[in-house]
């Protein structure tokens, strides 16, 4: 079951990366079997009015490392920054803080469109771990014994999804709560 969840997570992340990197008008989904990848949308197929939002707000402009800085995460963990990593601005961020048995704790955060998180929560809730109350509209926390990390998935309907992968249950939940407080406000 863990492999299925990780495969789905990788698929979600790949879709997020493709949609964030593709220029306007370029298809970001794979071509049908045996077909060629479309490179633009014909003018007659382009909508004349904006469609109703189904994926929540556009999270591609979010810069996770600015919403919650490495120093913010270090403050949550209670140790100094282990190292600041050179990262492209975007809805994902990697943090490393001095702590834990390995000398540092690592946290990976992704702010995602709701249409990538909501189907996981609706179809595979048993695969996502234990429900967490009081975080967003739905939240789940799972411990990955092989990686010795926790994976927190939060859905804020019609706004965004949030995933935090990190060391230590309390730290992972605290980093998730910090992101939610910054994204949702008081």
User: pLDDT tens digits for 134-155?
Assistant: 999 999 999 999 999 999 999 9
The SS3 call for residue 84 is: coil
From the centroid of its chain, how far is CA 30? 21
- CATH of range 2-13+56-184; options 3.90.1720, 3.40.210, 3.40.1000, 2.60.40: 3.40.1000
How many whole angstroms separate alpha carbon 11 and alpha carbon 115? 13
Separation of alpha carbons 4 and 154, rounded Å: 19
pLDDT tens, position by position, 42-76: 344 333 333 333 456 789 999 999 999 999 999 99
Tokens representing 73?
A: 């995460």
Whether the predicted pLDDT of 165 surpasses 90: yes
Task: Please report, for the chain, the start and end positions of each structural domain, with discontinuous segments joined by +.
Answer: 2-13+56-184
Residue 36 in this model has a pLDDT that exceeds 60 = no
- List the structure tokens of 89: 């601005």
pLDDT 10s digits, 68-126: 999 999 999 999 999 889 999 999 999 999 986 678 999 999 999 999 889 988 888 77
Q: Which residue has the tokens 């403050």?
A: 75
Which pLDDT band holds residue 32 (cuts at 50, 70, 90)?
very low
Instruction: Give me the pLDDT at residue 162, please.
Output: 96
Question: How far is residue 26 CA from its own chain's centroid?
Answer: 23
> From the centroid of its chain, how far is CA 166?
13
The better pLDDT of the pair 131, 19 is held by: 131
Return the pLDDT at 100.
66
């Amino acid at each position: 079951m863990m492999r299925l969840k990780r495969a789905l997570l990788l698929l979600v992340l790949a879709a997020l990366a493709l949609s964030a990197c593709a220029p306007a008008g370029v298809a970001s989904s794979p071509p049908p079997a045996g077909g060629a990848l479309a490179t633009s949308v014909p003018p007659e197929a382009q909508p004349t009015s904006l469609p109703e939002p189904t994926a929540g707000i556009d999270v591609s402009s979010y810069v996770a490392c600015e919403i919650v800085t490495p120093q913010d995460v270090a403050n949550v963990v209670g140790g100094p920054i282990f190292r600041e990593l050179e990262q492209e601005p975007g809805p994902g961020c990697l943090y490393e803080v001095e702590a834990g048995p390995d000398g540092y704790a690592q946290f990976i955060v992704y702010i995602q469109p709701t249409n990538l998180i909501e189907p996981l929560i609706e179809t595979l809730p048993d695969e996502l771990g234990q429900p967490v109350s009081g975080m967003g509209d739905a939240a789940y926390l799972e411990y990955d014994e092989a990686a010795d990390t926790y994976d927190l998935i939060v859905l804020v309907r019609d706004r965004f999804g949030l995933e935090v992968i990190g060391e230590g249950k309390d730290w992972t939940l605290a980093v998730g709560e910090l992101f939610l407080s910054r994204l949702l406000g008081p």
